[in-house]
Structure 1
Amino acid sequence: MVTLADSLLSSSARRLQIRKRADLVAQKQRYEGETYYVVKDPVGLNYFRFQEEEFFILNQLDGNSSLDEIKARFEAEFPPQKITLEELQQFVGMLHRSGLVVAVTPEQGRQLLKRRRERRKREFLSAIGNILAIRFRGIDPEQILTALYPWVRWIFHPAFLIACVILWIAALLLIASEFRVFLNRLPTFHQFFTPTNALWLALTLAVTKVLHEFGHGLSCKHFGGECHEMGVMLLVLTPCLYCNVSDSWMLPNRWHRAAIGAAGIFVELTLAALATFVWWFSEPGLINHLALNVMFICSVSTVVFNGNPLLRYDGYYVLADILEIPNLRQKATQLLSRTAAHWFLGIEPPDDPFLPQRNKGLFVLYAIAAAIYRWVVVLSILLFLNRFFKPYRLEIIGHAIALGALYGLVVQPLYQVGKFFYVPGRWNQVKKPRLYMTLVGAALLLAFVLFVPLPYRVMCTCEIQAKDAAPVYVDVAGRLEEVFVRPGQTVRLGDPIARLSDHDLEIEIGRLETLKRQYETRLAVLERRRADDEAAANELPALREALQTVIQQLVEKQRDRSRLLLVAPCDGVVLPPPWKAFQEDRNGPLPEWSGTPLEPRNIGAYLREGELFCLIGQPQNMEAILVVDQADIEFVQPGQFVRLKLDELHWQTLTGVIEDVAKRELEAASPRLAGKAGGELATKTDPRTGIEKPISTVYQARVPLTNEDGLLIPGLRGRAKIHVDRHHWLTIGQRLWRFATRTFNFRI
């Protein structure tokens, strides 16, 4: 309470009714020869780093000292440094906003409630801006980690750590030595990201992230830290665990702090190495599939996310720990803002002792690289989600996520720019000549974006087919008994290709032959008796009709048996059909074939009616069938140059020229290009005919190819890049507009 005596004093001489919180924990540390103090808020689990002078001021706030007294003590403790009352008031205000001090005055509850609401609002807006990784606070895992640590202490032994590193190297050597085989065994995008595997991927991500976060928590416990927060995080729509190990900042050894930050990466790399060997040496099946998921999740997340210091994940905190610079990205961004303000506006930034004083250029480059990389990663994830949801007409989910992500990428930076210029007197600091030069440069850049056309490429999916080849289909389903030809063999019209058998068909033919003989015998008997037996004469017409029916059925079945022998429909060379992955059919009468029917391993496999057995044509005459989206067909014309990359021949780039473009939309798509078969084309199956029909409007274009080296076989699929004519080039602005209208096409 302010007394009459206090009211007669100046504000700086009055007792400052603010005191330091008694529950704060401080740890003294050294960095570049200077003393710092890390202060921990044990309630909010927030951490602050103060210089020695700042920590001294914090300790002077006892609720009884005035600003004048604190100023005098400071200048006596740190001569010849001086501090103004305004600087002291600003610092005390910062401490109050940070929750490190409490005011011994009434009406503080309202202020604390207001501060809490503002903090929650900031957290909500931050969650919207970072919608791909939303956190929900959970439990205090300290007791769990304390109970678990004695059982897993052995994993921190140097011998175990060295063994894990050797395992990493062995996995890398395995992949490097068999790299081409490794790539050939990998599935395509749509084979891997199927709805079924999406569930397995989500489960794999959740389990690996749980182990990842326990790695952080247990390592923090190992080095003497505490962990009081563990909760659920939605990482790209997948629920998983997160563990807050900010208490590592209380550890004086920076290498211990870095080890805690890198523990999750260590766990994931070890899991990826183990999964590599399991996937490589296991047969196709669930275990093999899950091992590939673990490889993908752990390796991609480590390289693209966790291990990369450009994103605020493990790699970032490891770098910040090693450099001993808390809030590394925030300070780098501040340096970038100050540098940009100086270059483009001529504003001379004031000295800031809290920013790095050395290698400022590297911090600016780091801030630029981090911003660009964040854009690249977020846009890549959004495009992936849009590509994943598109075949199921669920693009609206990707659009909603995109709006939240773009809020963090666009709206928040614009808000910060507006906040920068909103500071009173800011415009007076701007040097007009520098501002005019910046505006001219921005206008030229905008003109380039809007009015200068650049080469444009149309990307689409494609499939290799034999040009003018005659197909050999299975007319009657049966068991493959014998193959008379091999791929590349020359055949003539009528030459046998393969022989199938059908046990049920043979039984039916035998039954009909027996029935035919019985009817013929009965007919002969009745013919002899009809002159003497009127009943026999009356039975003859019905018996003759029944016999004729049996003969017709027998002829039809014998014709089916003859069609079990596949023959060449023309002269040419035997070409294999599209390769077929192994699919177990538990309901089928016999094992399904895989690869191509021409392979010896498929002897005894069951071939269904209508399946393509092989092609007869010329192997040097191939063509690529391009499937172009309706939005791009206006740019595609005959004579345009095309580059092709096939999934199975990823090391080779094919080239060709478009021969013709279909005028009518494609009504039936190749099953190999359908998303259900691992292709990129969104299709739906006609329930009556079983034909795959494109969901969106697409058109075909044909590109003749020469197959001199014999590597091209029908059924290979990949991506094509069409180089459009010069008069169809687009500006950067037009490309961005097309991208926005195609990506954010909300349908009601």
Structure 2
Amino acid sequence: MSTASDPYVSSSARPLPIIKRDDLFQERQKYLGRPYWILKDPIALTYYRFQPQEFAILNMLDGETSIDQIKERFEAEFPPHKITVEEIATFIGRLHQGGLVRTHLPGQGKQLKKRRDEKLSKQRLARMSNVLAIRFRGVDPEKFLNWLEPRMRWFFSPLCVAFCCALSISAMLLVAVQFREFNAKLPGFHEFFAGENWIWLILAMGVTKVLHEIGHGLFCKYFGGECHEIGVMLLALTPCLYCNVSDSWMLPNKWHRAAIGAAGMYVEVVIASICTFIWWFTDSTTLLNQVCLSVMFVSSVSTVIFNGNPLLRYDGYYILSDISEIPNLQQKSRTILNNKMGKWFLGLEEPDDPYLPQRRQGFFALYTVASTVYRWIVVLSILFFLNKIFEPYGLKVIGQMIALAAMYGLVIMPLWKLFKFFRVPGRLQKVKRPRMYASMAAVAVLLLAIWFIPLPHSIICALQIQPHGADTVYVEVPGILEECRVEPGQAVKQGDVLAVLRNPDLELQVLQLRGERNQYASQITALRHLRLESAEAGEQIPELEESLAKTEEQLARLERDLEKLTLRAPRDGIVMPVDLRPQRPGVGGQLPSWSGFPTDTSNLGTMLDGDFCRVGDPTKLEAEIVVEQSDVEFVVPKQSTVDIKLRELPSATFRSQIADVSPKPIERIARRMTAKAGGSIPSTTEQDGGERPLTTSYYAQAVMPDDAAGLHIGALGEARIYTRWRTLGERVARYLNRTFSFDL
């Protein structure tokens, strides 16, 4: 008679020294009408879903039962299902790897440490693959939530939820009904994201995200779940919180689980609705108005783009997963797509997986494609956004480094997974070679087409509206403004006096030169009378005549400068103002320079220089477009078409054509066009207070159509200049050439 310890007894007949952990929590639930068991590991805070057959095998692990006995009991309990010893051994190995069983066999410590190291390594790789959403380990908020939940239960009551929904609908109706005025009150991109507003944006995101995550935790407690982790994460380089409410998987009601997923958005929408009313009814110059706008932006953007969207693994994804009763929706959808692609392109048989949805598999495959495309769009949009934020401060290299890190998760990781897919032993032998070669050829042709087929290309530039064909009146000789005889909008004739300036230094020089001229003339006259009596007197005359000629030449030049102090209209037309200049105090005892517009009466007595005004037809306008040096080669006068959109008319688009491109780089740019004043052009401030673009740029002009006659001069906007079509290969080569230097 043989015993279990007999060496001739098969391993499957020996008792397994593996025991199910006693501290596991279990809950029976239904998914898509089928029963499942949900297990919770209270130490690792991980959750598992088992079919009844798998759960039965787990319960049979008591340290004394053999695999053969498990097989017999399984087939007796679940007829007509059959199971092999190998399948049982594989399943037990998965249980051991998941930490759901324990054993007293030696060497377990090394295995546990190895498993922990592998887990940490995977977590590090996951962080690297998602550099725009880095999560750090958190703390256990259970005690805090136990204290707070009874005090906030009213906020989650049906009556309060109904009231908050009505409040949110009212806020949306306010925006919809008053949309034009609402849009007009919004600041520009660079004005809103200016450096001085960043503190309020970060504060708004921090506070709203803290309340968002606390909302998840409170809802979880409200329905009887637990919350054991709240931590910090970096979302698009901005610190915020995350809340782990995985314990909601233990709740049998799928609508309760979905409500927990929506709790954070519920909190943010309520806050954003309140801030919408406050922002609407407060002065735009107040701090409260600015903070409320920041909260509205953070809450709406995060809800629409991130949290509420089921294509990203945020709240909307978990809500969809709960309602559809498909845990790990993204992973299962990706597995379905991989199986389908393996079948279509490689001829592989689809493996039988009972955990995958058996119906509407095409929908889940399309979901994976949509989520992947959307993730690319979101990541690229965030990278573009960060690049725009860093650009005015000369920190574009930081944005480029973040982009390279993001490409790891978008490109390197998928390629690595594809490599691992083919490294599975026996995988290549199952591939149908003709289908694989045909698929590779089709992919190669598609990539070559994408790389070499020309596609539409355009560049986006900042612009301002200026009068077309107007003559600028320059203050060629700086002077003190004594009299201003015109104001913007006034009609003038050619030669009319616009303003009178004084330059005491110039006037003094003219008086001195006139005195010297008279003195030289008197000396010459006297010497001419004396030369008959003295030969020496005649010899001095040529030298004095030469000095007189030089003096008269200098005097004539200064008198012409003196005449230029009287500014006259160069043509018939309407007086139009030049660019607004901020106030600057006088330096070193000098008179303060002018500010505002030169024609302002407040500038009387100030030192005037630069442009004074323009004279022309205000109904004829042109777009003055700022084109960077790297793009100016693509702009061809008389050929390049341009679409113009203005901030004051966001719904209108004006079509025109590039008329001319200045050959000289821009030395000074209107302050309102700079990022410092709410524009979009990065600039540096010169010693004289003027603004110079950070990157070498050129002006391009496009005449505005007749229907744009009502626009005001100085209006800002953007121009999309359509250039010749270019291939993807050209674009990549140009980008690499601009980004990196290959000079040896």
Instruction: Give the TM-score taking structure 2 as reference length.
Output: 0.84
**What is aligned with 1:394?**
395
Distance 1:248 1:101, change over 3 A: same
Q: Does 1:677 align with 2:666?
A: no
**Does the CA-based 8 Å contact 1:662-1:700 persist in structure 2?**
yes
**What is aligned with 2:105?**
105
**Aligned partners of 1:464, 1:624: CA distance in 2, in Å?**
5
Deviation at 1:349, TM superposition (A): 1.1
**Aligned partners of 1:478, 1:151: CA distance in 2, in Å?**
69
**What is aligned with 2:353?**
352
**What is aligned with 1:733?**
729
**Aligned partners of 1:664, 1:135: CA distance in 2, in Å?**
50
**Does the CA-based 8 Å contact 1:399-1:744 persist in structure 2?**
no
**Aligned partners of 2:647, 2:742: CA distance in 1, in Å?**
32
**Aligned partners of 2:485, 2:50: CA distance in 1, in Å?**
81
Tell me which amino acid in the other structure corresponds to 1:354. Y
Matches within 5 A, 1:422-461: 422-461=423-462
Can you list the C-alpha shifts for 1:456-501, whole angstroms capped at 9, x where unaligned?
A: 2222222211123345799999999x998675x644468899999x
Q: Does 1:620 align with 2:619?
A: yes
Tell me which amino acid in the other structure corresponds to 1:618. D
Aligned with 1:137: secondary structure? coil
**Aligned partners of 1:119, 1:74: CA distance in 2, in Å?**
32
Tell me which amino acid in the other structure corresponds to 2:273. A
Aligned with 2:300: secondary structure? helix
**Does the CA-based 8 Å contact 2:584-2:595 persist in structure 1?**
no
**What is aligned with 1:321?**
322
**What is aligned with 1:517?**
none
Deviation at 1:645, TM superposition (A): 1.5
**Does the CA-based 8 Å contact 2:135-2:232 persist in structure 1?**
yes
Deviation at 1:254, TM superposition (A): 0.4
Distance 1:424 1:703, change over 3 A: same
Deviation at 1:720, TM superposition (A): 1.4
Tell me which amino acid in the other structure corresponds to 2:348. I
Tell me which amino acid in the other structure corresponds to 1:393. G
**Aligned partners of 2:480, 2:226: CA distance in 1, in Å?**
68
Matches within 5 A, 1:310-389: 310-389=311-390
Can you list the C-alpha shifts for 1:611-661, whole angstroms capped at 9, x where unaligned?
A: 988643212321112222222222221112111112222211112221222
Aligned with 1:278: secondary structure? helix
> Where does structure 1 lack aligned partners over 5 or more consecutive residues?
501-559, 586-591
Deviation at 1:5, TM superposition (A): 2.1
Deviation at 1:101, TM superposition (A): 1.2
**What is aligned with 1:246?**
246
Distance 1:434 1:47, change over 3 A: same
**What is aligned with 1:213?**
213
Can you list the C-alpha shifts for 1:668-690, whole angstroms capped at 9, x where unaligned?
A: 22322211112221111112x22
Aligned with 1:456: secondary structure? strand
Can you list the C-alpha shifts for 1:273-311, whole angstroms capped at 9, x where unaligned?
A: 111111111112211111110011000010000100000
Aligned with 1:703: secondary structure? strand
Aligned with 1:289: secondary structure? helix
Deviation at 1:732, TM superposition (A): 1.8
Matches within 5 A, 1:259-338: 259-283=259-283, 284-338=285-339
Deviation at 1:99, TM superposition (A): 1.2
Distance 1:658 1:575, change over 3 A: same
Distance 1:106 1:179, change over 3 A: same
**Does the CA-based 8 Å contact 2:598-2:608 persist in structure 1?**
no
Report which stretch shifted further, 20-29 or 194-203: 194-203
**Aligned partners of 1:17, 1:605: CA distance in 2, in Å?**
99
**Does the CA-based 8 Å contact 2:5-2:14 persist in structure 1?**
no
Distance 1:694 1:246, change over 3 A: same
Tell me which amino acid in the other structure corresponds to 2:693. P
Tell me which amino acid in the other structure corresponds to 1:133. A
Report which stretch shifted further, 241-250 or 633-642: 633-642
Tell me which amino acid in the other structure corresponds to 1:738. R
**What is aligned with 1:629?**
628
Can you list the C-alpha shifts for 1:565-621, whole angstroms capped at 9, x where unaligned?
A: 99977532344656899x999xxxxxx999x9999xx99999996698864321232
**Does the CA-based 8 Å contact 2:621-2:709 persist in structure 1?**
no
Deviation at 1:103, TM superposition (A): 2.2
Tell me which amino acid in the other structure corresponds to 1:733. G
Deviation at 1:376, TM superposition (A): 0.6
**Aligned partners of 1:324, 1:606: CA distance in 2, in Å?**
78
Deviation at 1:26, TM superposition (A): 0.6
Q: Does 1:716 align with 2:712?
A: no
Distance 1:439 1:287, change over 3 A: same
Distance 1:679 1:4, change over 3 A: same
Can you list the C-alpha shifts for 1:391-433, whole angstroms capped at 9, x where unaligned?
A: 2122232223222211111111111111111111111221222
Across the aligned residues of Structure 1 and Structure 2, the Cα RMSD in angstroms comes to 3.5
Distance 1:477 1:110, change over 3 A: farther
**What is aligned with 2:122?**
122
Deviation at 1:709, TM superposition (A): 4.6
Q: Does 1:152 align with 2:148?
A: no
Distance 1:206 1:313, change over 3 A: same
Tell me which amino acid in the other structure corresponds to 1:699. Y
Distance 1:84 1:250, change over 3 A: same
**Aligned partners of 1:167, 1:123: CA distance in 2, in Å?**
41
**Does the CA-based 8 Å contact 2:620-2:709 persist in structure 1?**
no
Deviation at 1:359, TM superposition (A): 0.7
**What is aligned with 1:31?**
31
Deviation at 1:316, TM superposition (A): 0.4
**Does the CA-based 8 Å contact 1:155-1:161 persist in structure 2?**
yes
**What is aligned with 1:64?**
64
Distance 1:741 1:213, change over 3 A: farther
**Does the CA-based 8 Å contact 2:655-2:705 persist in structure 1?**
no
**Aligned partners of 1:394, 1:605: CA distance in 2, in Å?**
42
**Does the CA-based 8 Å contact 1:619-1:707 persist in structure 2?**
no
Distance 1:137 1:598, change over 3 A: farther
**Aligned partners of 1:294, 1:410: CA distance in 2, in Å?**
34
**What is aligned with 1:176?**
176
**Does the CA-based 8 Å contact 2:577-2:614 persist in structure 1?**
yes
Aligned with 2:615: secondary structure? strand
**What is aligned with 1:704?**
703
**Does the CA-based 8 Å contact 2:675-2:683 persist in structure 1?**
yes
Tell me which amino acid in the other structure corresponds to 2:695. S
Can you list the C-alpha shifts for 1:144-193, whole angstroms capped at 9, x where unaligned?
A: 00101121111012221111111111111111111111112111111111
Tell me which amino acid in the other structure corresponds to 1:735. R
Aligned with 2:30: secondary structure? strand
Tell me which amino acid in the other structure corresponds to 2:732. L
Distance 1:680 1:76, change over 3 A: same
Deviation at 1:270, TM superposition (A): 1.2
Report which stretch shifted further, 298-307 or 86-95: 86-95
Tell me which amino acid in the other structure corresponds to 1:399. Q
Tell me which amino acid in the other structure corresponds to 1:334. T
**Aligned partners of 1:61, 1:478: CA distance in 2, in Å?**
98
Instruction: Give the TM-score taking structure 1 as reference length.
Output: 0.83
**Does the CA-based 8 Å contact 2:619-2:710 persist in structure 1?**
no
Deviation at 1:74, TM superposition (A): 0.8
The share of aligned pairs that are identical, in percent, is 50
**Aligned partners of 1:365, 1:135: CA distance in 2, in Å?**
28
